[in-house]
Homo-oligomer: A and B are copies of this chain.
C-alpha cells in the first residue's frame, strides 16, 4: 500500500491513466488499418448509433454545438466512417449512417478495450479492477450526468 498522497495527485493519475489507455488503443488501431482514427471519432460513431442519427442528434448526444457536430460529421465522412445522406422524411435534415468501415472501427475498438481490461485484471485482479470502476463511477457521478462530450480535446 502506498504511503499517503497529496490530493492533487488523484486527478493527475486519472488523466495519466486515461491517456495511457487511449494512446494504447490508437497505437493498436493504427496498426490494424485505422491510422487516422482519433478518439473523438470512436465516441462520435458510438453516439450515431446503429440506426441513423441527424447532425443535431449527434450534437445533443456529444454535448456540443450543432456546428461542432457538423464538423465532426464532415471529418468522419472524409475518413470513410460515415455516409451523409439526405433525410427522406425531412428536407432540412442530414442523416448520418455508419459505413462498414465505421462499424469495423467500433468492433476493433471494443476488442482492444476488452483486451486492455483483461490485461489489467490479470495484473491487479478482478476485484481490484471492479472496485476501480465502481469508485471511478461514484466520483464521476458526483459531477453530474456524464456527457460523452466531456471527453478530451487533448487527444491529438
Q: Does A139 lie at the interface of the complex (its beta carbon under 8 Å from any beta carbon of B)? A: yes
Q: Does A92 lie at the interface of the complex (its beta carbon under 8 Å from any beta carbon of B)? A: no
- Does the CB pair B143–A113 fall under 8 Å? no
Contact of A150 among B10, B19, B113, B138 (CB under 8 A): B19
Residues facing B in A1-45 (CB within 8 A) are: 1-2, 5-25
- Does the CB pair A16–B140 fall under 8 Å? yes
- Does the CB pair A19–B143 fall under 8 Å? yes
What B residues does A9 contact at CB under 8 A? Answer: 133
What B residues does A7 contact at CB under 8 A? Answer: 110, 112-118
- Does the CB pair A21–B113 fall under 8 Å? no
- Does the CB pair A135–B124 fall under 8 Å? yes
- Does the CB pair B13–A140 fall under 8 Å? yes
Nearest CB in chain B to that of A116: its residue: B7
Nearest CB in chain B to that of A111: its residue: B7
- Does the CB pair A152–B153 fall under 8 Å? yes
A105 CB to nearest B CB, Å: 13
Chain A residues close to B by CB (< 8 Å): 1-2, 5-25, 109-110, 112-118, 120, 123-124, 127-144, 146, 150-154
Q: A6-B110, A15-B152 are in contact. List 14 more A-B contacts (CB 8 A).
A: A2-B130, A7-B116, A7-B118, A8-B109, A11-B21, A13-B136, A16-B137, A17-B137, A17-B140, A17-B143, A19-B146, A20-B143, A24-B143, A120-B139
